[in-house]
Structure 1
Amino acid sequence: MLPDDPDAHPPESDDERTESGAALSLTEEEFERLVVDELDALPDEMVEGLDNVIFVTEARPEDGSLDLLGLYEGVALTDRGQYGFGELPDRIILYREPLIAHAGGELDELREQIHITLVHEIAHFYGIDDEELHRLGWG
């Protein structure tokens, strides 16, 4: 269960710490709820154009690292030719353990990192590359 108090004390037991050493431990369902909440909080104009995109969460990237927070898999809107019925959906993946580790185990920081990662990956859907995202302060 998510702590109601964002200033709640970290767990006292090492058993409650994540592999990364972060004091915050969330189940898949709790993490997904945070992602949905942050997705719902995004501006309508950002999400209205998301056609045939699914959002998924996974524990870690395939390589097992904690370096990658999210990933967009698909063809950017700006690179699409004919796109229509029967296309598999693009995917935006958020990685739970790297995001928790990057947030330093703080719930408010985790929410912020989820928000930033969602914006970053949605931008890739719209064809904005990493260089432009860095220029805009979202990289």
Structure 2
Amino acid sequence: MAPGLDVFEDLAAAAFAALPEEFRRLARDVVVRIEDFPDDETLDAMECETPFDLLGLFQGNGLAQGGGLPWTGQMPNMVFLYRRPILDYWADHEETLGGLITHVLVHEIGHHFGLSDADMEEIERRAGQDEGDGGSG
């Protein structure tokens, strides 16, 4: 049985808590939201063919673009994790659900910081070591 939104939120919170402390500290103002699917506007903007094409999304002004501090009336920087597409991907791959959520979370928060793929892989590796599973789940 696929986990509901509440369980998924708990998994995302655990994934965030397992990230390296300095990364969590820098990302403390990023809001993480869990939704079943992206909305139609997002799907159109990202040129997705189906609602299952997008696992997560960073929305806001990243630190790399000088957006570390909010302006009056500005929405907070947000990471969306899309439950149904993540579950669909998980069902077809040999990755743990927690590992997949960590991967998507790090990738999307990485956009906030303007990190390279290598930087994000290192953060995921360190998160996996902190869990004691080496990142492979």
TM-score, normalized by length of structure 1? 0.69
Contact 1:52 1:88 in 2 (8 A): no
Q: C-alpha root-mean-square deviation of aligned residues, in Å?
A: 2.6
Equivalent position SS for 1:97: helix
Equivalences for 1:97-116 in 2 at 5 Å?
97-104=84-91, 109-116=96-103
1:19-55 superposed Cα distances (whole Å, 9 cap, x missing partner)? xxxxx41111011111111111111111111253211
Match of 1:65 among 34, 51, 56: 51
1:84-133 superposed Cα distances (whole Å, 9 cap, x missing partner)? 564431000000001111111789621111010111011101023xxx32
**Contiguous gaps of at least 5 residues in structure 2:** 44-49, 122-137
- Give the equivalent residue in structure 1 for 2:134: none
Structure with greater helix percent? 2
Give the 4+ runs in structure 1 shifted more than 4 A.
Answer: 105-108, 135-138
Higher relative contact order (CA 8 A, sep 6+): 2
Q: Which amino acid aligns with 1:49?
A: L
Cα distance, 1:108–1:33 mapped onto 2, change above 3 Å: farther
Match of 2:78 among 64, 70, 91: 91
**Aligned-partner Cα distance in 2 for 1:72–1:40:** 19
Cα distance, 1:77–1:104 mapped onto 2, change above 3 Å: same
Residue 126 (1) aligns with residue 126 (2) = no
Q: Which amino acid aligns with 1:66?
A: F
Equivalences for 1:40-79 in 2 at 5 Å?
40-62=17-39, 63=43, 65-79=51-65
TM-score, normalized by length of structure 2? 0.69
Cα distance, 1:137–1:40 mapped onto 2, change above 3 Å: closer
Contact 1:58 1:93 in 2 (8 A): yes
* % identity of equivalent residues: 29
Q: Which amino acid aligns with 1:72?
A: F
- Give the equivalent residue in structure 2 for 1:34: 11
